[in-house]
Structure 1
Amino acid sequence: MKKLFYAGIIGLILFELANVYFIMPMPGSQEMNSIHFAYFLYSWRWIFRVVFALFIIVGFINAFKSSRILTVLFLLVVAGITYAANFEMAADSMFLTPGTVKMRNADENKVDLDRLVLGVALNGEAKAYPIQYLGYHHQVIDTIAKKPIMVTYCTVCRTGRVFEPQVNGKPETFRLVGMDHFNAMFEDKTTKSWWRQVTGEAIAGKLTGQSLPEVKSSQMALSQWLELNPNSFIMQPDHDFTAEYDSLSNYETGQRKSKLTRRDTLSWQDKSWVVGVVLGRESKAYDWNTLLKERIIYDELNGQPIALVIGSDNKSFAALQRTDKNQNFVFQNNRLQSPLNTYNLLGSAINPLVPDLVKLDASQEYWHSWRTFHPGTKKY
């Protein structure tokens, strides 16, 4: 009977490790298409635990009689691994959400103006969320123009997205549960489905295939955001997380040494920066180094003429749909000047009588992230 004890011990250890391995950035785990197996383990976790616990209980007496020290040692080991896997290594224990979101206007703001932010503007209201803070929290729940929003960021993919935290028209609560293909995943409280951060799509569970409503956002330097939105509010640091924020102080400039969050300054490497643009059913990636060199890239996507432009700060960028393929710009004083009209960086016409340019979905990401989640993408 003591064999049941050891079978239970080994089984429980392997299960707890596997339950973490497939949804955390461990060697080889994120290259596999293992999300459905990982969700199966997670969904049936208490069944596995009860079965292995029964094995341990049934075989305990015989194992204890055979070797008291070894039996106690194994129990301590399995207890330690179980605790670490479910508390120390749990994503929502490692990366906490802020208790309250402190917002200040430009006059009271304490955030460095050179910092990158994810900006949201809606119905005359604007808010900016520093990536240094989002990178740690992964999600920040807030409201804008009385609409609840879920501001998310994944440092391993370098992806910022904003969603409405609602499912089937009802408010929903999410927690960080892990990652798949190096992208953060959230779990909704109601159905326990798993949602991908980069797309807002449920990839495992009852709601697989559904998507969260996305809210348009822009990544740029805070100084540029305030130039475009002078009445914007800015998220301020939560002093309970000072050490965590400090650890990401050099993330946005690409100076981190971590294998997961570093920057490869060469082009088209896994950790190279690209700007991915989507128009209709087509997507294309533009090398960040090329954008810095050319400043304005003229191209066509999905049969439409577009322009990808970077600001004078070498941080802020936008992808815009041109009125026609002959429309070219001169970029001066953070404005796009064409022979007939002048626009700001986001394509808004300075002359209110002139139509704005259409701002396209564009994001700065690691190349490995963009090609993974846009498998049909083209390269400029």
Structure 2
Amino acid sequence: MKTLLLVLGFFTLIVAEILKVYLIMPFPGSQQMNSIDFAYFMFFNIGYFRLAGLLMIAYPAWHFLKTGKKRVKLLIGTFIVLYLGVFYAVNFRMLADKIFYQPNTVSFVPASQTGYEMTDLVLGVEINGESKAYPIENIGYHHQVRDTVGGTPVIVTYCTVCRTGRIFSPEVNGTPETFRLVGMDHFNAMFEDSRTRSWWRQVNGEAVAGPLTGTTLPELPSEQMALGAWLNKYPESLVLQPDTAFLEKYENLKNYDEGTSESKLTGRDTASWADKSWVIGVTLDEKAKAYDWNELIKTRLINDTISSTSLLIALEPDSLSFHAWERDTLVFSLSDTTNFIVDKNTGSEWNWKGECVRGMLSGAQLKWVLAYQEFWHSWKTFHHRTRTYRYRKPGQAHLKQIR
């Protein structure tokens, strides 16, 4: 009986510690399970499992250490060291906020003073006349950056494993909140608020575990594009500077923009509709649709419709910066002679800000639509009934619904 209690006690201690981190970090198999509720339970009840395990081993361990043979004592000592090693690794090395840290300083400079290349990808936001750009290879390491834009508090988030950039208001039910990176669910970063300790998904700002389950953070409109394209739209924009304390960490994301990262979690599948291939995702009238990045590279423009909204998806000549606009009854094509897009209806020319600059519709402005670039596995996971745009030939497109 003493031996059984000893074995069960060590098993409880070690397995409980492992489950605490296994379920919310990208270990083999962990992110394919719908285990968020169990993960939340284990995370916040780990103390009870520790107590139960210690109570089970206390008397048997004391007994065997006092009366057992040297081999038995050595075995018990080995298990104690093993548990302490697991405890240290789980709680001080493997948790998300022990791997990824928030910046010590958040500083900005005008575009003329930044050291970033014009082809570097940024997540940009404009609020109340103030615009700021957050380089992805910077915020991708931190996962979140707290800031204020146009007098409005924001939390700028990025998950490199899903290739999802989102900006939210960090207010929960009207109260300012702070968040820490706690792990991931279905490969998407999760944050924990400081007051209720609920867990929030980065991809949509929804609380998926804890007292505030079902609550969502207000999302603020943002755009991902090359820094040069962003500055073309907002010349006075400020640019986030790297925190010098994390230069080595940023270096690990050096090739992330291009999708050539060596990591299996963050590298790109070049084939279309593979898990790690890139798509442009749009949601209108609660209906989601995905557009293959490879197809967009070839065609540059996609005239499509979601629900009852006519949509234009456009890729700038830099092959990095994309846009989505409502096009009403207009049908667009690329100009053969200029760096403009042209509507076939009137022959008017439009720039990459969605402004008509020449022709019958001069002065008109296309209505901007929120769109995201992300990995296909992420978009289809968090948009269960998404449709996909499949180009066949002019005038035809094949739609497939993902259930």
TM-score range, shorter chain: over 0.9
SS at match of 2:113: coil
SS at match of 1:33: coil
Query: Counterpart amino acid of 2:287?
Result: E
- Tell me what 1:106 maps to: 111
Inter-partner Cα distance in structure 1 for 2:192 and 2:182: 6
TM-score (norm 2): 0.90
Inter-partner Cα distance in structure 1 for 2:254 and 2:121: 11
Range that drifts further, 103-112 or 172-181: 103-112
- Tell me what 2:24 maps to: 23
Q: In the alignment, is the contact (CA less than 8 A) between 1:23 and 1:29 conserved in 2?
A: yes
Inter-partner Cα distance in structure 2 for 1:39 and 1:362: 31
- Tell me what 2:46 maps to: 45
- Tell me what 2:332 maps to: 328
Q: In the alignment, is the contact (CA less than 8 A) between 1:201 and 1:212 conserved in 2?
A: yes
Q: How does 1:1-380 map to 2 (within 5 A)?
A: 1-65=2-66, 66=68, 67-324=72-329, 326-330=330-334, 335-338=340-343, 339=346, 342-348=349-355, 354-380=363-389
Inter-partner Cα distance in structure 2 for 1:344 and 1:84: 54
Q: Deviations over 1:110-165 (max 9, x none)?
A: 11221000000111100000110111111111110111111111111110000011
SS at match of 1:277: strand
Change (3 A) 1:350 1:204: farther
Change (3 A) 1:106 1:53: same
Inter-partner Cα distance in structure 1 for 2:12 and 2:339: 61
Change (3 A) 1:55 1:242: same
SS at match of 1:107: helix
Deviation at 1:355, TM superposition (A): 4.8
Structure 1: gaps (5+ residues): none
Q: In the alignment, is the contact (CA less than 8 A) between 2:127 and 2:152 conserved in 1?
A: no
Task: List, as ranges, runs of 4+ consecutive aligned residues in structure 1 with deviation greater than 6 Å.
Answer: none
SS at match of 1:318: strand
Change (3 A) 1:154 1:69: same
Q: In the alignment, is the contact (CA less than 8 A) between 1:117 and 1:130 conserved in 2?
A: yes
SS at match of 2:112: coil
Q: In the alignment, is the contact (CA less than 8 A) between 1:116 and 1:219 conserved in 2?
A: yes
Range that drifts further, 250-259 or 118-127: 250-259
Inter-partner Cα distance in structure 2 for 1:57 and 1:268: 55
Query: Counterpart amino acid of 1:10?
Result: F
Question: Aligned residue pairs: how many?
Answer: 379
C-alpha RMSD of the superposition = 1.8
Range that drifts further, 23-32 or 40-49: 40-49
Inter-partner Cα distance in structure 2 for 1:114 and 1:165: 30
Greater Rg, structure 1 or structure 2?
2
Inter-partner Cα distance in structure 2 for 1:79 and 1:5: 16
Deviation at 1:350, TM superposition (A): 5.4
Q: In the alignment, is the contact (CA less than 8 A) between 1:277 and 1:363 conserved in 2?
A: yes
Q: In the alignment, is the contact (CA less than 8 A) between 1:134 and 1:152 conserved in 2?
A: yes
Deviation at 1:259, TM superposition (A): 1.6
Inter-partner Cα distance in structure 2 for 1:344 and 1:35: 45
Deviation at 1:341, TM superposition (A): 5.4
Query: Counterpart amino acid of 2:49?
Result: F
Change (3 A) 1:350 1:201: farther
Deviation at 1:183, TM superposition (A): 0.6
